[in-house]
Structure 1
Amino acid sequence: MSTTGIPPRPAPAHPASADPVPARPDAGSYGYDIERVDPRAPGRLGDAGPARRGRRRPWLRWASFGVSFLLLALAAVVVGLYVILPLGIGTSLVAFTAALVPVAMVLAAVWWLDRYTPQPRISLLYAFGWGAIGSVLLTLFFGTFFDAWISPPEETAAIDEFLGAVVQAPVIEEGMKSLGLIGLLIWGRRYISGPLDGVVYAALIAGGFAFTENILYFGSSFHQAQAAGEVDVFWQTFFLRGVLSPFAHVSFTSLCGLGLGIAAERRSLMLYFGLGLGGLSLGMVLHAVWNGSAFLLPVDPEAPLAGFLRYYVSVQVPIFVLLVAIVLFLRLREKRILRRQLSEYGRAGWFSPDEVEMLVSMRGRRRAEAWAVRHGAVARMGMRHLIRSAVALGMERHGVLFGKPTAKTRARERELLEMITADRRLIGALTTPVVRG
């Protein structure tokens, strides 16, 4: 097993002895793995040494999230008072209800992507909150200065509208949305540790931004419909933004998330700048192309949507299909990674072959939770926590193989193995009959 870096599990300690069994001297070919003892005995994995002393305090991370959510709440009040409420209560309710349709599509897609290697819920809430509140407020603030900076001394209304849609909106909006991804990277690599993680968080941020933006667009079109006495303006806006393009912002921002995720997996500072800026720039270009189509496409007065639909089918649909193919590939890639890494731990004695198959299969996980729930809610929570810890263990090890093992990575592996061991004992205690037949 010296080629894998995971030492084999030694024989369990003698029942009469309280001392842990020492690890084999040839274990751990690159000095990463912790010393192995009996996996059935939590707390007997050996002394953690100085690795724990350098770990970040858990309360510091929670305090950071608390301050962030407080700032987002204040920003929500500002956006509500100065942006949403001026539309009027009735118009705001209509626009809010209409905006729920496209955001529900985005959230359903993100849920499907994230359920295989689920992320912490608090970080997912932060991502959506940043997109819906923080990035919108910063866009409104900095967009005004940027628009004044790029505007020529003598400009017409057409030039101002074109520069605002094709230059100002892509640069400022994509930049402000990407700040949320940078915040997650600052708080910890465990949030964005691979390409799919970056796409998930970027999609949530973009979905939140589009949700607030759609409220503004739907509210404005509803006002126009009321003034004209016709509902065609509102339904046309709803069809274009809510039905045809619910994933437009998601496609733009996901490119930056994809680049940052690849860099996080490779643990390369240069890739953070190169791929991050590259993905951000490409997202800005696609955003500009999307907005610019309204100015460049010929408009037929008798069929105003015909030209846009031809452009949509020939340009935007292939781009969206390509991005979907990339996301599906990343999903299958994570399954292969998880199977490979957990199989290594299985050969070291931490998992049986059946357990590995269960952990890499969504159907297997559901069956395991269904079996556990027959023994109570606590057993189900233990099974769910065991599955999540095992998934985190496999993905964490995959990331370490690309970089240099550190005391922090060793402590993280130890922490996950201890949690898995404790969950095993909890589930075993709740599912084993007290009196055998």
Structure 2
Amino acid sequence: MTSTTGTSAPPRPAAESPREGGYGYDVERVDPHAPGRIGPGAAGPRRRRRPWVRWVAFGLSFLLLAASAVLLYLFVILPLGAGTSLVAFTAALVPVAIVLGAVWWLDRYTPQPRASLLYAFAWGAIGSVLLTLFFGGFFTAWISPEESSPTLDTFLGAVVQAPVIEEAMKSAGLLGLLIWGRRYIAGPLDGVVYAALIAGGFAFTENILYFGDSFHQAQAAGEVAVFWQTFFLRGLLSPFAHVSFTALCGLGLGIAAERRSLMLYAGLGIGGLSLGMVLHAIWNGSSFLLPVDPEAPLAGFFRYYVSIQVPIFVLLVGIVVVLRLREKRILRRQLSEYGRAGWFAPHEVEMLVSMRRRRRAERWASRHGAVARMAMRHLITAAVALGMERHSVLFAAPTARTRARERELLETITAQRRLLGALTAPVVRG
């Protein structure tokens, strides 16, 4: 990436060709040296931002989650026993690693703040589990008839209570992120990423409990078949089950956030939550409805899994891939608009929309030191945020806050350009 745009050289004519040092666009440029002309800022006093308020709120949230983690360990995991809980924890790392790998692939194109990603996973693994355990008993007692049987109680707990309470508690974490600010969930893919992290955290803790219980049964029976069967079904065949359910609510809230519509927040959020509850109920209810062959007890489940769950999962994967490609098109279109206004050269736009070229740019900057690499990374992050923010603004009227956010990102881009120029330009000219 060049740093010549960070200087205050006289403007070039709009008809300048790429070979003569121009940008190569076929339209008139508003300001070919826009980064160098950003100026000192708007006149008059600016309202001071208070980033410490957000950090204090995040800190209190994490402290509350830490206290909840202690309670969860003392009253839920510790009764399993030290050895059993260690085995269950180790086994639960396999499915959660698969989920985190998928989330990393989704999030790396338009990365979210690490603190909010950590909060989402912690909410799923700790907060939503505790709230589910707390409200689940009350809800089961409320929906159970006065004269019930153990079979009916088990059915209501699995098919009604678990989908309703678990999905509601997981989705509460998405609402918390929306309350913190739109910069966390600003589009459909953001909603899916955070929903997947919350669901992955919830499944991680739930798997510890299930694996621990099956390990106890294996010890009592004197064979390990029960444990490995549970690990195979939950850890390998269905690591994305909870992710698929909660992602529907995240998708709906992300679409509403992109369009900045309160009606869509309610309609798509409740609609996605309800559809996730239905899929969760179908998944849990299959164990009660499928015929069981004593000679091949898993045959009926495999038929159901291949005919119902696999198509649903493939459909959701297709939606996510389309959203990922859509973000790339959005970024190219919006950054090209900024390029025509003088902020980016065509080769810079190509670099910013390509993961391979981003890595190449960071490797080039790293040859000039760690500070240069950090500057390149911050420049890329700010440019990506600028393009996605601009796309979201197009769905609503610009406000003073969105204009201030745009200027903040442009100032960051300009500052990182100048820093890169100072670190990579030769001290003595040849």
Q: If the TM-score is normalised by the length of the shorter chain, which range does it land in?
A: over 0.9
Residue 387 and residue 276 in structure 1: after superposition, are their counterparts in 2 closer, same or farther (change >3 A)?
A: same
1: distance between equivalents of 2:43 and 2:362? 32
Match for residue 29 of structure 1?
A: none
Residues 215-235 of structure 1: CA deviation (Å, up to 9, x unaligned): 000000000000000100000
Aligned to 1:139: 132
Q: What is the aligned length? A: 407
Consecutive unaligned residues in structure 1, runs of 5 or more: 1-8, 16-34
Deviations 1:321-358 (A, max 9, x none): 00000000000000000000000000001000000000
- Pair 1:225–1:357, CA change in 2 (3 A): same
| C-alpha deviation, 1:132, in angstroms | 0.2
1:379 aligns with 2:372: yes
Aligned to 1:69: 62
Partners of 1:49 and 1:334 in 2: how far apart?
Answer: 37
Question: Aligned pair in 2 of structure 1 residues 314, 48: CA closer, same or farther (>3 Å)?
Answer: farther
Partner of 2:151: 158
Provide, for residues 52-107 of structure 1, a one-character-per-residue CA deviation record: whole Å limited to 9, x for no partner.
42x75211111111011000000000000000000000000000000000000000
Among 39, 42, 49, which residue is 1:47 paired with?
42
In 2: Cα distance, 1:225 partner to 1:72 partner: 33
The Cα shift of 1:157 comes to 0.3
Q: Give SS of 1:284's match.
A: helix
Give the superposition deviation at 1:404. 1.2
The answer on whether the counterparts of 1:39 and 1:421 sit within 8 Å (CA) in structure 2 is no
8 Å Cα contact 2:292/2:300 also seen in 1: yes
Where does residue 270 of structure 2 map in the other structure?
A: 277
Do the aligned partners of 2:365 and 2:376 also contact (CA within 8 Å) in 1? yes
Structure 2 distance, partners of 1:69, 1:341, is 36
Per-residue deviation at 1:48? 6.0
Q: Contact (CA 8 Å) 1:37, 1:44: kept in 2 or not?
A: no
Please say if residues 35 and 343 of structure 2, whose CA atoms lie closer than 8 Å, have aligned partners that are also in contact.
Answer: no
Q: What's 1:30 paired with?
A: none
Q: CA deviation at 1:49?
A: 5.2
Q: How far, CA to CA, are the matches of 2:37 and 2:381 in structure 1?
A: 18
Instruction: Specify the code of the residue in structure 2 equivalent to 1:88.
Output: G
Q: Percent identity?
A: 82
Distance verdict in 2 for CA 1:42–1:84, change over 3 Å: farther
Give yes or no for contact 1:36–1:45 (8 Å, CA) kept in 2. no
Q: Does the 8 Å CA contact 2:256/2:268 hold for their aligned counterparts? A: yes
CA contact (8 A) 2:174 2:195 kept: yes
Equivalent residues of 1:42, 1:422 under 8 A apart: no
Among 376, 388, 395, which residue is 2:388 paired with?
A: 395
Alignment partner, residue 235 of structure 1: 228
Deviation, structure 1 residue 39: 3.9
Could you say if the C-alpha distance between residues 37 and 405 of structure 1 is closer, same or farther in structure 2, counting changes exceeding 3 Å? farther
Equivalent residues of 2:352, 2:383 under 8 A apart = yes
Pair 1:360 & 2:353 matched: yes
CA contact (8 A) 2:32 2:343 kept: no
Give the C-alpha shift of residue 156 in structure 1: 0.4
Deviates more, 1:198-207 or 1:40-49: 40-49
Q: 1:245 aligns with which of 235, 238, 242?
A: 238
Distance 1:262 1:233 in 2: 42
The residue that corresponds to 2:103 in the other structure is 110
Structure 2: which amino acid aligns with 1:306? A
Alpha-carbon spacing, 1:285–1:415, altered in 2? closer, same or farther (3 Å): same
Q: Which amino acid aligns with 1:100?
A: L
- 2:397 alignment partner in structure 1: 404
Query: Does 1:92 find its partner at 2:79?
Result: no
Taking structure 1 as reference, are residues 307 and 49 closer, same or farther at Cα in structure 2, changes over 3 Å only?
Answer: farther
State the Cα distance separating 1:318 from its structure 2 match: 0.1
In the alignment, structure 1 residue 254 sits paired with structure 2 residue 247: yes
Q: CA deviation at 1:422?
A: 0.3
Q: Which amino acid aligns with 1:59?
A: W
Q: Which residue of 2 aligns with 1:324?
A: 317
What is the identity, as a one-letter code, of the residue corresponding to 2:42?
D
Task: Give the aligned partner of residue 293 of structure 2.
Answer: 300
TM-score, length of structure 2 as denominator length: 0.92
Paired position in structure 2 for 1:6: none
The CA RMSD over aligned residues, in Å, is 1.8
Q: 1:189 to 1:37 in 2, by over 3 A?
A: farther
What is the CA deviation profile of residues 199-242 of structure 1, one whole-angstrom value per residue up to 9, with x for unaligned ones?
00000000000000000000000000000001000000000000
Deviation at 1:143, TM superposition (A): 0.5
- Residues 42 and 230 of structure 1: is their aligned pair in 2 closer, same or farther, counting only changes over 3 Å? farther
1:198 aligns with one of 174, 191, 205? 191
Taking the aligned partners of 2:418 and 2:78, their CA distance within structure 1 comes to 54
- For residues 182 and 75 of structure 1, the distance between their equivalents in structure 2, rounded to whole angstroms, comes to 19
Aligned residue for 2:409, secondary structure, equals helix
- Which consecutive unaligned segments of at least 5 residues does structure 2 have? 12-29
